[in-house]
Every structure is written in structure tokens, then in C-alpha cells.
Chain A
Amino acid sequence: MNLEEIYQVLKDKFGDAVLALDTELFGDHCIHISPAAIADVCTFLEETDTLAFDSLMCLSGVDFSATDEEFAVVYHLYSMNHRHKVVLKTPLPKTDPHLPSVSHIWKTADWHEREAYDLYGILFEGHTDLRRLLLPDDWEGYPLRKDYQEPDFYRGMRVPY
């Protein structure tokens, strides 16, 4: 199936939770999904035989700019059987970024979500073990946010070099 067909299937099934089909940007086109519905949409994409997205290639948090009021979580899915792919994007308000976890659908999402939590502070509800992954447990702040200010000291060590 191509992206338009997948979009139509999702639109018929989930209605308003599927926000839009974004074809304006160069490169990969994506489907915008409302954050609250992302786990249901992903379950549907994985379980439906005609879609069968059995592989989550990549899950990334994105902060587009410091002035933007939204983060995004981007899901790159691929179906080994049907050899088609889809890109899902969920906008999240920066003031309270949270959305359901998909780690029960694809196990690789476990670490990818922990990484997004670690670097962006995005909360994945229903994740069984949402701890920092790459940074030390006592690190303050979320470094990949565009408005991140690095601390002067970490445990007595100077941070900026």
C-alpha cells in the first residue's frame, strides 16, 4: 500500500485522531496522528493483515525550534511482508509532553522511548521502565531541547569546555 491508501484506511478507522497527511515537505511524507491515539493506531497497523507493520525502524523525538510550542515524536514503520513503509508524526505540547508508549507492540521501542525521555523529557505512559538511558541518572535537564542550557558544573566537574 502506498501512503495515501494507508492514510485513508487510518482515517476511516480512527476519524479525527488522524490529523492530516503531510505531503508538503521534501523527502519522506508523513501522517500526523493525535498523541492520545498513537498506541491504538500502532496496534492497528501491526495487527491488521493488509498492513502488517512488523518492524519499527526508528523512533525519534524532535524539537524543531526554540520558538515552536511543540515537540514531535516520529515513528518510522516498515512491513517486511508487504514491503511498504509509513511515517507517523505526533505533535506534543512542550509544556506537558506525554503520550502512550508503544513498547508493548515493538520491543525495540523500549530503549528508543527511554532515549527520547532522556534527551527530550517526553513521557511515555505505560512504559515499564522509563529511566534515563544515555545520561547519568542525576543529570538535570533534557539536552536535545533547543532551549537547553548546559549546567556549569556536574558533580564538581566543569561542563563547558
Chain B
Amino acid sequence: MESTQSTESKIIELKPFTDEMIVNMGPQHPSTHGVLRLELRLDGEIVREAIPHIGYLHRCFEKHSENLSYPQIIPFTDRMDYVAAMNQNWGFCLAVEKLMEADDEKEFAIPERAEYLRVLICELNRIASHLLSFGTYGMDIGAFTPFLYAFRDRERLLLLFEKVCGARLTYNYIRIGGVSEIIPMEPGSIDEQNFLDEIEEFLDYFEPQIDEYNDLLTSNSIFSERTMGVAVMSAEMALSYGATGPNLRGSGVDWDLRRDEPYSIYDRFEFDVPVAKDIPDLGAVVGDCWSRYKIRMDEMKESVSICRQILAEGLPDGPVMADLKAVRPPKGEIYFRSEAPRGELGFYIVSDGTPKPVRVKGRSPCFSALSALQELSQGLMVADIIAIIGSIDIVMGEVDR
């Protein structure tokens, strides 16, 4: 008797008589990480379809680039992913440098000191970016405290960046052929020592903090309930949608450009690439929101390790800028990708040999990852949409460019 009752109640639950409703989420919504509008077609609380509408932050990066010289474009890349602007600068400079290197007659080498500074600063920027992602994700899900912790620590990093380039968010620090010398740091000087000491102090302080964050949020049972097993993105789906970086590794694909296609001097450092695994005890499934989030937490540790290796070696002597007379890449084109905190940041540059590019296309990792949202969110609850957006870690500046 009891069993028939329970099946009957199930049938009733499966056929709720509700009309479909269209709800606009955003563009101004605290959990959309910028200005993203989602058109939700809801059946009660179940999402039948979520259509993202983007472009609210479109600032014509590509059109601007066609009318500017190469060095002038770098500040515009800052404004793509403004929470990891160092990595954006670097991605663009790498592409231009690669195209210039293709012409054997114009030989130049990026100074060692610049390479070390680039890796050091960009890894710190990766930590800052992941901290923001971690803090805001917690807040999206309903945990306010981690946000304050994350911003407290990120602030220290921003002060460090301010010391090297004078800006907190839009750095314009990495230049074509090296790094900026606006605030000179003589090799071996007291300034340099102070700067490195300060980084070391931060790393010593920060490394145990990661464990505290994990205690605070990662293993929090409310957080786990909201994220584990939600919106599972299979490896095939991630590849097909062009999801990269932590999102791809969260789907169990062992792939990191820093290791698998090493650029700059990444081949000199030892670091692990965290890849998501099923954790049956906890209930985490490869490709769910929690896995994507956890990859970022683990990556912070690896970034700390890379920074420590640089500090142990010390910065090499020498200049920080290559001897470049003019930035004028040869007639040709290049697509170069680097591992930004949010995934594979690519720049496709077409040059006609003049100081201005013919075409610059920014291949943004968030753009591709966000396009998966429509498929990921089908049949889930409205609250899960928030969990997905936070877990794929989008920055609308980069999506809209």
C-alpha cells in the first residue's frame, strides 16, 4: 500500500501545471560577473532554456586595434580580462614577438631578466585572479566570508603590482620585447631586494591560507551540495565547446599550455597540472561545478611553487627590454595562444608590414566557455545557473571585448 502511494506522489510531482515563464536575469545582476543577460525560459523553477545575450561590454577592441600601432594596443588588452591583465598583456606581446621572430633578419632576444619578471608577475596575477574567482563564487553560492578573505589577500598582490607598474588593475606592464621600466629596479639594488622579500613574505603567508580557504569553503557541506554533481561537462563536450584552462582540466583533460606547449621559460620550472578526478566519498564527479572550482584552488598552490622557484634562483642581471628599434612585424600572420588564468588566450594577428596591424582577433577563453552555458543549464534549477556561471569563471570584459 505504501509503495503505490509513493509512486502516485511522484507522478504528481512530474506533471506540475505551470505555464512557461520568460525571466530576464541581468544584465545588472550581482552573480553575472559583469553585464551578462540571460533569457531564462522557466517551467516553475526548472530551466528549460537559458539563452545568453552578450555584448553589453563590447568596446570594439578589434576595430580599435586596426587603427593603433602595436605598442598602443597593449593597454586595450588590459581591459579585456581586467582581473588578470598581466596575462592579457603577455598573450598579446607573445603573439607579436612570435611574428617578429619569424623574420630571421630582424633578430632580437627577450632579456632573461624580463622573462623571469614576466613569469613571476603573471603567476602572481594568476593567484590574484583565482582569488577573485574563489571569493565571488562563494558569495554567489551564499557564503559571504570567503569573499572578504580573498579580497584581503588579493589586495596585497595588487599593492605589489602597483609597486612594479604604478597601477592596480590595468597594468600595461609587459611590453613587446620585455617589460616596462617606468619604475626602474636596478639589478641587485635594495629596491629589488625589498620587492623580492615582499613577494616571499606574501608567499609564506599565503600558502597556509589556501588550506584555510579549503576548510572554509571547499569542504563546506552547503557549498558541496550546491556544486557537486551539478552541470557535468564531459571531456568531449568541453573540447567541442572550446572550453580551456581550469574548465577543461575540470572535465578531466590533462592539458596545460605552460607544460604541453611551453612558451617563454616555463620549461625550466617544475609544477604539477591539477586535473579533476571522481571523488566518490565526497560525491564530486569529473566535470561538475565543484571540480572546476577545485582546479583553481589547486592551481594557486602550483603558482606559489613557480614563484618560489624564481625567488630561489633570484632575478638575473641585465636589461629588461630587448634592443628593438621599431615594432614592425613582417608581412604575415600568426595565431599564438598562452595559458591565461581563465584558459587559452589566443591572438590572431595579420600584419602587412606596417606599424599597424590589419586584423587582431582576441580569442577569449571565457567567450568559448560561456557558449556552453546553454547546453549545461538545460533541465537544472534557476539557482544552479548561478553555480554554473561562477564555476566557469567568466569576465565579461573578455567575452565582449
Contacts and interface: CB of A to CB of B under 8 A. Distances in A.
A25 interface: yes
Interface string B44-55: 000000000011
B54 A58 contact: no
A161 B333 CA distance: 32
Most chain B CB within 10 A, of A26, A111, A136, is at A26
A116 to B, nearest CB: 10
Nearest to A85: B335
A134 B351 CA distance: 25
A34 interface: no
A97 interface: no
A143 interface: yes
A70 interface: no
Most chain B CB within 10 A, of A30, A63, A80, is at A80
B363 interface: yes
A44 interface: no
Contacts of A87: 335
A110 B371 contact: yes
B242 A55 contact: yes
B368 A108 contact: yes
B331 interface: yes
B333 A28 contact: yes
B393 interface: no
Nearest to A136: B55
A134 B55 CA distance: 4
Given A27-B98, A28-B333, A64-B350, A80 B55 contact: no
Interface in A15-50: 25-28, 30
B253 A56 contact: no
A108 B241 contact: yes
B55 A144 contact: no
Interface stretch (B56-64, B69-77, B173-181, B214-222): B56-64
Most chain A CB within 10 A, of B242, B260, B332, B400, is at B242
Nearest to B102: A26
B10 to A, nearest CB: 34
B103 interface: yes
B330 interface: yes
A135 B55 contact: yes
B146 interface: no
A30 B348 CA distance: 13
A56 B240 CA distance: 8
Contacts, number: 95
A108 B240 contact: yes
Given A76-B348, A134-B54, A144-B62, A28 B335 contact: yes
Contacts of B333: 25, 27-28, 30
A9 interface: no
Interface in A56-93: 56-58, 60, 62-65, 74, 76, 80, 83, 87
A60 B348 contact: yes
A47 B260 CA distance: 24
Contacts of A144: 62-63, 66
Contacts of B363: 57-58
A25 to B, nearest CB: 4
Contacts of A83: 260
A76 B242 contact: no
Most chain B CB within 10 A, of A57, A133, A134, is at A134
B367 interface: yes
B350 A76 contact: no
A143 B371 contact: no
A62 B363 CA distance: 14
A107 B371 contact: yes
B354 to A, nearest CB: 11
Nearest to B347: A58
Given A57-B363, A135-B55, A26 B242 contact: no
B361 A58 contact: yes
Contacts of A134: 54-55, 58, 400-401
Nearest to B58: A134
Given A26-B99, A55-B239, A63 B335 contact: no
Given A57-B363, A65-B358, A27 B54 contact: no
20 contacts: A26-B329, A27-B98, A27-B99, A27-B102, A27-B330, A28-B334, A56-B242, A58-B335, A62-B359, A64-B350, A76-B335, A76-B348, A80-B253, A80-B255, A107-B237, A107-B242, A111-B367, A134-B55, A134-B400, A144-B66
Given A26-B99, A26-B331, A57-B344, 12 more contacts: A27-B334, A54-B239, A55-B242, A58-B361, A60-B361, A64-B350, A76-B348, A80-B255, A133-B54, A134-B400, A135-B55, A135-B58
